Structure 1
Amino acid sequence: MAKIKTTLLIATCGLAIAACAKKRPETLPPAPVETPATEAPPATTGTGTGDVSPGSAADFQRSVTSNTINFGLDQYDIDPGARAILDSQAEWLARYPDVRITIEGHCDERGTREYNLGLGDRRANAAKNYLAAKGISPARMTTISYGSERPVATGSDEAAWAQNRRAVTIVLG
């Protein structure tokens, strides 16, 4: 009887230790690849002046207020400043109904990896839902969360963290 109790105790301890083992992190998808300007000439409108073509990623960058909205700490709500930016994006997207976008959700370095990936997802989806409410087809939009894996600002202070709490709209194609 004592031998069975000892065996059960050892097995229980072994299971408890195995349950606490770290899980392998999921791998993140590769970063979007941007072609350097030196590899291909800029798209033009045919004037020969180097103007960007309508509906291109460069046209988006030039035409909208910003491709980035920022969030407060642990927040994913769309504030009035973000609404103005997303309104300008919605206007541009309405002009080019064949253009597809990806909305990236990002966080600062604080919080666990899992928490930051979830918060980044909520931020990207908040932007997507706002654009959908403005009439942009959800079928044209994809979202991805990078959590804190791709900071735009380095540093461990509030100024850097504030820049990293964001959702970024990327024009595809």
Structure 2
Amino acid sequence: MSKIKEDVVNEIHKPARRNFLWRRVQVRGLNDLIQADLVEMIPYARENSGYRYILVVINVFSKYVWAEAKRCMGTKVKRNIKAGLFKKGDYVRINKYREAFHKESKLYIPTTYLLADQNGQDIEGSCYGEEPQKTLHNDVYLIEKVVRRKRNKLLVKWLGLDKRHNSWIDKTDMV
């Protein structure tokens, strides 16, 4: 394996850092901030009576958590999401990495970055300083798929970029 391939593989599979400072989130009311996640359980649908998804919703203000098993996630189902699988006083597990809350008097302001792509267009949102990682080979891009072939040229779709970045490359340029 070439050095470039080895470096790209190491960058992609580098373990993510879990413990770092987060920005302060201000929640001003009961339904001000709700976090939802959809767990895909498609390989286990046969054992779960055809249920393919688990919808988990957390109300950040009241710390009320509920989950609901779903057979399919069409647009009708997404609009009619029901709440209330858990009763008041039920014990739930939120995150295996969460620890007891320790209050401190120090105020920490984590570093956050606003990112822009190579064309200078802003990327929506921001990220913490621990999330982005520096690349060793900034001229190496990953190919998601080959769209068309023409002799020794390939029209490729680049991983993580939209279709307006598709481009023709020589077969010999692939690493």
Q: TM-score range by the shorter chain?
A: under 0.3
Instruction: Give the TM-score taking structure 1 as reference length.
Output: 0.20
Higher helix share: 1
Higher RCO (CA < 8 A, seq sep 6+): 1
Higher strand share: 2
Instruction: Give the TM-score taking structure 2 as reference length.
Output: 0.20
